[in-house]
Chain A
Amino acid sequence: MIHDSIIRDRLVTGDKTAADVTRDIARPILNKPSTSWKIGFTLSVVFLGIFVASLFYTLWTGIGVWNINKSVMWGWDITNFVFWVGIGHAGTLISAVLLLFRQKWRMSINRSAEAMTIFAVICAAMFPVFHMGRVWVGYWALPLPNGFGSLWVNFNSPLLWDVFAISTYFSVSLLFWYIGLIPDIATIRDKVKGKTEKALYGFFSMGWTGSTRTWARYELVSLILAGLSTPLVLSVHTIVSTDFATSVVPGWHTTIFPPYFVAGAIFSGFGMVATLLVVARKVMNYENYITIGHLDAMTKIIMVTGSIVGIAYLTEFFIAWYSGVEYEQYAFTNRAFGPYWWAYWSMMSCNLIAPQVFWFRWARTTPWFIFIMSIVVNVGMWFERFVIIVTSLHRDYLPSSWVMYAGSLTEIGLFLGTFGIFFTCFFLFAKYLPVINMAEVKSILRNRE
């Protein structure tokens, strides 16, 4: 028996009908781009240009244009890699984990979060690929026969696990995103007027008609893909954490890394989702679809995951002291009170202390404040990776190899440039594909139990 819920708040406000949903969400696709879109897109392309220029300089001159050295052999590049992979995690969490838990509020935000995953993984992949130096032999990372130049790959290495994990994560996320898009692409196909647009959307809609038989199987496929993506998303950042945890570097060699990295990834991912959606709901007039209730739910997740990450920071310190290993103890004292103290305390302030403000309802329901906090979270999570990587490497067992490290202009340019890649992709997505899942949102208009 189906009832209209009298307890729960409506997930879509404004008494929208199915036709209203199509009209509102397809508006940017069916009309000419707005001025705000043009300004945002141009700015993104400028940053994309910075990426291309920095990359060209790196490839032309050599990897020496980065400030990494024999002690700090991983610097901004791997910091940025982990930062972007982490951001990608919220998309899969929203689409897969929240689907398994039947959280219907995810329906307004899952599409853009999944898109964010894909674009973030593209940005992430840039760093290890170009850190190889000789990028033209990058295919040696794949399991190809010895005759192709390298030996078979080393299956005991976490770096190889990364190759499999990131490529599987990217492919499965793309598939999940595309399958979710098919019904909406069909809706756009039946709305656009131009011959080319009709042919393009027709091609990608794969002849979708909305048959009940297809919907039944579609929902089953979505459920199974969600079931697959859930352990996948946990495995990816677990594997990224083993890049560090399987080494013998003090500060890295800890078993807390996998859960701590996964929580951090969800935390930073939700930070970026909040950044994007607070702006998108205002600029694209989606306030009835991405409501204050959605922001409230997202900020609660930010607060919980931020607290988990904070406990992990404190646990690391405790374990270093409790282990009695002087190298571990030194690594953590050096993090907090050594030359990179400013990075450590930025991390602690942004990730552990700042999100506690979300205990207050005002903070969870005020969009401009959430936007500022989401930026704080992103800055904090970048510093977390910087702290883990640089402060652990810059002083090792041998004082003669102690060095200081700061990113070169090229490294900074590459990092800023990846925001260009990310936002260029996101603006194109917002112009040509529905940012909100129309079919799913139509199914929750009646607020039924």
Chain B
Amino acid sequence: MGILDKNLSLRNRNKMVVGVWEDEDSLVAATSELVHNGVKIHDIYTPYPVHGLDRIIGVRRSKLARVAFFCAMTGFTLVTTMIWYMYVHDWPMNIGNKPVRFTPSWAPVMFEGTVLCTAFGMAFFFFWRNRLVHGIKNELLDDRQTDDRSVIAVEITESADQNSILGTMKKHNPVELKEFHNGVNTTIK
């Protein structure tokens, strides 16, 4: 598995059925019923985090915590090696006859270096995994999905029954139903 989550791109996809909601409860109910009916939801777009939606549509728990731990260990090793090289190996300095070997006085710099590497390393992998790049073209299914509307997108494959999906969505009072294909939105309801 590559680091980049390819599900996040809407390019080169089959036709999609798109339902738009303003009410959070209806959105969650529609999602649950679609999943219960065996429909594979491509993604849901919301203007704010709706807790639990990711579990309902089967998004696996992120491994970013492990990445953070890996970055922390890398940072710790790099900074400790740096201090040892500069302070013990390359040019030992006698200041007030204090020892140059490993001492607790190394701890602040080791700690700060570890935090720095962890934060930036994890952020780098977060951006990469989530296709967050400066200047990338944003692919929106609804103009207000970053404002006050939530969007359920279902990709129509051979096994998916479009009418049944639309019927389930309609039961939960969407404000709009659309089809999305090749970058073009067509309103159904």
User: Could you list which residues of chain A lie within 8 angstroms of chain B, going by C-beta atoms?
Assistant: 17-19, 22, 143, 146, 151-156, 158, 160-161, 164-165, 168, 171-172, 175-176, 179, 182-183, 186-187, 189-191, 202-221, 224-225, 228, 231-232, 235, 239, 242, 439-440, 442-443, 446
**Interface pair A224/B138, CB less than 8 Å apart:** no
Q: Kindly report which residue of chain B lies nearest to residue A225, judged by CB atoms.
A: B119
**Interface pair B120/A189, CB less than 8 Å apart:** no
Q: Which residues of B contact A161 (CB under 8 A)?
A: 108-109, 112
**Interface pair B146/A187, CB less than 8 Å apart:** yes
Say which residue of B86, B98, B109, B123 sits within 8 Å of A179 (CB atoms): B123
Q: Kindly report which residue of chain A lies nearest to residue B96, judged by CB atoms.
A: A156
Q: Which residues of B contact A183 (CB under 8 A)?
A: 47-48, 146
B54 to A: closest C-beta gap in Å: 4
Q: Assuming the A-B contacts A161-B108, A186-B138, are A217 and B57 also in contact, with contact meaning beta carbons closer than 8 angstroms in the complex?
A: no
Inter-chain CB contacts under 8 Å: number: 192
- Per DSSP, are chain A's interface residues mostly helix, strand or loop, or mixed? helix
**Interface pair B133/A206, CB less than 8 Å apart:** yes
Q: Which residues of A contact B68 (CB under 8 A)?
A: 224
Q: Kindly report which residue of chain A lies nearest to residue B132, judged by CB atoms.
A: A206
Q: Kindly report which residue of chain A lies nearest to residue B46, judged by CB atoms.
A: A210
A287 to B: closest C-beta gap in Å: 21
Q: Assuming the A-B contacts A186-B138, A213-B54, A443-B48, are A155 and B43 also in contact, with contact meaning beta carbons closer than 8 angstroms in the complex?
A: no
Q: Assuming the A-B contacts A212-B54, A218-B49, A220-B64, are A206 and B134 also in contact, with contact meaning beta carbons closer than 8 angstroms in the complex?
A: yes
**Interface pair B120/A156, CB less than 8 Å apart:** no
**Interface pair B65/A217, CB less than 8 Å apart:** no
A185 to B: closest C-beta gap in Å: 9
Query: 8 Å CB contacts to A: which residues of B112-165?
Result: 112-113, 115-116, 118-120, 122-123, 126-127, 129-140, 143-148
Whether, in the assembled complex, B93 has its beta carbon less than 8 Å from a beta carbon of chain A, the answer is yes
Q: Assuming the A-B contacts A187-B147, A207-B131, are A217 and B109 also in contact, with contact meaning beta carbons closer than 8 angstroms in the complex?
A: no
Number of residues on chain B facing chain A (CB within 8 A): 65
Q: Kindly report which residue of chain B lies nearest to residue A227, judged by CB atoms.
A: B68
**Interface pair A18/B47, CB less than 8 Å apart:** yes
**Interface pair A228/B119, CB less than 8 Å apart:** yes
Q: Which residues of A contact B166 (CB under 8 A)?
A: none
Q: Kindly report which residue of chain B lies nearest to residue A210, judged by CB atoms.
A: B45
Q: Which residues of B contact A216 (CB under 8 A)?
A: 49, 54, 59, 62
Known: A168-B112, A179-B123. 10 other contacts (CB 8 A): A19-B147, A165-B112, A168-B116, A175-B119, A190-B143, A211-B130, A217-B130, A224-B64, A239-B108, A443-B50
Whether, in the assembled complex, B8 has its beta carbon less than 8 Å from a beta carbon of chain A, the answer is yes
Closest 3 CB pairs of A and B: A207-B136, A18-B148, A206-B132
Q: Which residues of B contact A152 (CB under 8 A)?
A: 86-87, 90-91, 93
**Interface pair A232/B138, CB less than 8 Å apart:** no
B15 to A: closest C-beta gap in Å: 19
B145 to A: closest C-beta gap in Å: 6
B118 to A: closest C-beta gap in Å: 6
Q: Which residues of A contact B90 (CB under 8 A)?
A: 146, 152
Say which residue of A155, A175, A242 sits within 8 Å of B109 (CB atoms): A155
Q: Kindly report which residue of chain B lies nearest to residue A178, judged by CB atoms.
A: B123
**Interface pair B132/A208, CB less than 8 Å apart:** yes
**Interface pair B47/A210, CB less than 8 Å apart:** yes
A2 to B: closest C-beta gap in Å: 9
Q: Which residues of B contact A151 (CB under 8 A)?
A: 91, 93
Q: Assuming the A-B contacts A218-B49, A221-B126, A446-B24, are A160 and B54 also in contact, with contact meaning beta carbons closer than 8 angstroms in the complex?
A: no
Whether, in the assembled complex, B103 has its beta carbon less than 8 Å from a beta carbon of chain A, the answer is yes
Q: Kindly report which residue of chain B lies nearest to residue A188, judged by CB atoms.
A: B146
**Interface pair A164/B112, CB less than 8 Å apart:** yes
Q: Which residues of A contact B43 (CB under 8 A)?
A: 211-213
